[in-house]
Amino acid sequence: MNAANKRPYAPAASPGQTPAPATLRKSLKNRHIQLIALGGAIGTGLFYGSSESIALAGPSILLAYLVGGLAIFMIVRALSEMSVEDPRAGAFSYYATRYWSKRAGFVSGWNYWFNYILVSMVELSVVGSFVNYWFPAIPQWVSAAVFLVVIAAANLLGVSKFGEFEFWFAIIKIVAVVAMIAGGLAVLAAGLPTDSGIRASFANWFALDGGFLPNGLMQHTSDGQWTGLLMALCVVMFSFGGTELIGITAGETEDPRTTIPKATNGIIWRILVFYIGALGVIMAVVPWNTIDGKTSPFVQIFDSVGVHAAAGILNFVCLTAVMSVYNSGLYANSRMLYSLARQGNAPEILGRLSFHGVPVAGVLASAAVTALAVVVVFLWPAFAFNYLMSIATIAGVINWSMIMVTEIHFRRHVAAGDGPGELAGLTGDEALGRIQFKLPLARVMPYIVLAFLALVVVLMCFSSSYRIAVIAGVIWLAILLAAYQATQARGK
């Protein structure tokens, strides 16, 4: 076993100091996990970003979401396989350290932490624009500061409060999408004409501008850009960011062996309903070639149903989605810092827990860095969005790839008799057969998913807006590896 794993999981308290709780509180209930997992699939990327993917691939975007969704499902299944047998805070960072190497745990944990810092940064920077829809006189930085403080305070109260916030945030987003689907199906059932004069029908998937696959698999346009089904995968894959939060919650779940498999298996139908179902209905009611990104496709379909307050409704839903992303991001980041500290890959203070079982230093440190990042966005918006978010984009691919590689190492440890819990001491096929929640086709699936992720990176190189992300990803990995070597050298 890696020497780092011999480190006690809870640090000793200083003389005279009341010892912090040794473990996180297992306060997340089944309903919390189900709604956290459900809401994690719904964000501003779906409400606004879907117009970009539709423009690239037309109705065939449904296939892109299906293929990308299957890949994400396998990634979360791989993570859940480990989480059910060995539920820990920090999830994949802990598993990378335990079953791969301390270097891998360092890279995985800090990569994920910084990824969510960047995502939170951008989400908080746009929260002011949603508030200004109703209250234009309020400065955007004030809105960002208020929401940052409120969400940070909620996270400091304990994991059960985080769970309640996410539960209700998810309910609002789900109701909005279901209402849109129901309204769209009502329009389709009545066969009503749209504003364009084209009657609402599922036949619109095939009857308009080149049919179901209007831009082919990949097509070079006259303005030098690439479009098509394959290029749409670059946009689609990053809509699924956050689904791996299921693994992060395992260390604070009342019954991870029951709730984690249930939440994970639900990913497939969530993708079918909230992505494929929602966009399928939208493109049946609103001709796909009229979705230009100037307004959300969800606004357009609400308008076609006759709900002309659609912009206001969607503004509220998107404000909720932004708060949800930051709430999840702060939770995930604080637990990741906690795990990194326990591994010896971060300052020890980040691994201490409050009376409520909260890694307070991790919450405050993540909130403070996010606040600084938001200032950067307000001062240099072009720099922030063009460069920093490129790193966040590729960081997702790095994270997913490391989860799959870690799963390969996990199974090797289990087969060698070094598995966790009830698997310890068992070897070979007997040990592998005792894994409760197995990754389907586990001998080959990690390699299939890794090949798919490699394809996505190659496709990103064809896009001027994503090419910078690939370059940034290489630089970012080099920085992380150099930082690890520096910490090891300092520790000797």
Report pLDDT digits (tens) over 96-105. 999 999 999 9
**Does a structural domain hold residue 10?**
no
With a cut of 60, say whether residue 333 has pLDDT above it: yes
At 223, the pLDDT band (50, 70, 90 cuts) reads confident
Number of domains within the chain: 1
Q: What is the per-residue pLDDT for 349?
A: 93
Residue 230: pLDDT over 90 = yes
pLDDT tens across 393-422, in order? 788 899 999 999 999 999 999 999 999 988
Which pLDDT does position 385 carry in this prediction?
61
Q: Give me the mean pLDDT over the 316-326 stretch.
A: 86
Sign of dihedral through CA atoms 299, 300, 302, 303? Answer: positive
Please check whether residue 18 lies inside any domain of the structure.
Answer: no
Is 11 inside a domain boundary?
Answer: no
The whole domain housing 95 covers 30-491
For 432-459, what is the mean pLDDT?
95
Q: Return all residues near 136 (Cβ < 8 A) that are at least 6 apart.
A: none
> Mean of the per-residue pLDDT values for the chain?
84
Residue 490: band (very low, low, confident or very high) from pLDDT cuts 50, 70, 90: confident
Asked whether residue 7 is assigned to any structural domain, the reply reads: no
pLDDT value at position 383? 63
pLDDT category, 296, cuts 50, 70, 90?
confident
pLDDT tens digits, 427-439: 999 999 999 999 9
Check: CB of residue 340 under 8 Å from CB of residue 106. Answer: yes
Query: Residue 19 domain-assigned?
Result: no
pLDDT at 287 over 60: yes
* Inside any domain, residue 425: yes
Helix (H, G, I), strand (E, B) or coil at 40: coil
Cβ neighbors of 370 (< 8 A, separation 6 or more) are 117, 120, 121, 124, 148, 326, 329, 330
For residue 3, the model assigns a pLDDT of: 39
Residues sharing a CB contact under 8 Å with residue 481, sequence separation 6 or more, in sequence order: 103, 107
Answer whether residue 15 is part of any domain: no
| pLDDT for residue 6 | 37
58 contacts: CB under 8 Å, gap ≥ 6: 209, 210, 212, 213, 214, 215, 288, 289
- 123-132, 310-319, 374-383: range with lowest mean pLDDT: 374-383
Residue 249: the pLDDT is 83
pTM, rounded to two decimals: 0.88
Give the residue carrying structure tokens 């789900």.
174
Between 53-67, 118-132, 209-223, 363-377, the lowest mean confidence (pLDDT) is in 118-132
Phi, psi dihedral angles at 219 (to 5 degrees): -140, 135
- Quick one: pLDDT band at residue 386, thresholds 50, 70, 90? low
What is the per-residue DSSP string for 125-160?
A: HHHHHHHHTT-TTS-HHHHHHHHHHHHHHHHHT-HH
Please report the pLDDT score of residue 387 as a whole number.
Answer: 67
Top pLDDT among 392 and 363 is at 363
pLDDT at residue 341 greater than cutoff 70: yes
Q: Which of 88-97, 105-114, 386-395 has the highest mean pLDDT?
A: 105-114
Residue at 119: amino acid letter:
V
pLDDT at residue 459 is higher than 90: yes
Whether the predicted pLDDT of 20 surpasses 50: no
pLDDT of 14 higher than 50: no
Is residue 236 domain-resident? yes
Query: Alpha-carbon distance 61 to 38, whole Å?
Result: 21
Is 486's pLDDT higher than 80? yes
> Above 80 in pLDDT, residue 353?
yes
pLDDT (0 to 100) of residue 304 = 67
Percent of the chain with pLDDT over 90: 36
CATH number of the domain where residue 135 is located: 1.20.1740.10
Of these ranges, 425-434, 446-455, 472-481, the one predicted with the greatest mean pLDDT is 446-455
pLDDT, position 190? 83
